[in-house]
Amino acid sequence: MTLEEIRAEIDLIDNAIKPLFVRRMECAKHVAEVKADAGGDVYVPERELAVIERRSSDMEADIKEEYIAFLRHLMSVCRRYEYGLLEGMQAQVVEEALHAAGLPADMEHERVEIGFGCSYEASCLNTFVNMAKLNRIGIIRMQAELQEGRQQVTMTLAGNVKDEGMKCLLCQIGKESDGFRILGLK
C-alpha cells in the first residue's frame, strides 16, 4: 500500500469510529442522569480495571499497551463529560474544598492552587493533565514528587473556581485522587 492508500484507510476507520463515539457519549450522558438521581460515584476504579482487563485480554502483545491506553483515555473522557453534567456534584466538591481551606467562594482570583495524591502505578496524573486541556484550563505550574509509591502533586491552574471548566476539572480531580485540597486562590 502507498502512503496515500494507508491514509485513505485511516480516514475510513476514523469515520467508522465517529458514530460509535457519539453513541458512547450518549451512554455516558445517561449514566450521569442516573447518578444525578440515584447518587453514586462516576469513577469506579475496580469496574474500569475489570473492563480493561476483559476487553484487552485477546489483544496482540505488540499493541496491547496502546489499546489499554486508548481504553483508559476513552473512559476518562467519558467521565469528564459526566462530571460536566453533574453540576450539583461539582458545587459540592468545590464548596467543601474551599471550606476546608478557609477560603471564601466569592474571593476575586485568577489562579487556583491545588494539591492531591495519586497512585504512581495507576498513572492518573496524565489523565488530570489531559482533563485540564479538555476543560480549557491552563496549568501554570505543576510539581510531582514520588513518596512511597504515590505521587504527591501540586498545581497552579489559570482560572476561577466559578468557571465552568474549572469546576468540572476540580470535581474530577477531587473525586478521582486522594487528599484533594484547594491550597489557595490568587
pLDDT at residue 123, rounded to an integer = 66
Taking the C-alpha atoms of 132, 138, 86 and 109 in order, what is their torsion angle to the nearest 10 degrees?
A: 150
Amino acid present at 86:
L
Among 108, 112, 104, residue whose Cα is nearest residue 137? 112
pLDDT computed for residue 121 by the predictor: 75
CATH number of 1-186: 3.30.70.260
Q: Which three cell numbers stand for residue 36?
A: 444525578
Residue 82 · residue 35 · CB < 8 Å: yes
The CA distance from 19 to 37, in Å, is 27
Phi, psi of 76 (to 5 degrees): -70, -35
User: Which grid cell is 84?
Assistant: 460536566
What's residue 110's pLDDT? Answer: 97
Q: Give, for all 186 residues of the chain, the pLDDT tens digit.
A: 899 999 999 999 999 999 999 999 999 999 999 999 988 899 999 999 999 999 999 999 999 999 999 999 999 999 999 999 999 999 999 999 999 999 998 889 999 999 999 887 776 888 999 999 999 999 999 999 998 888 999 999 999 999 999 999 999 999 999 999 999 999
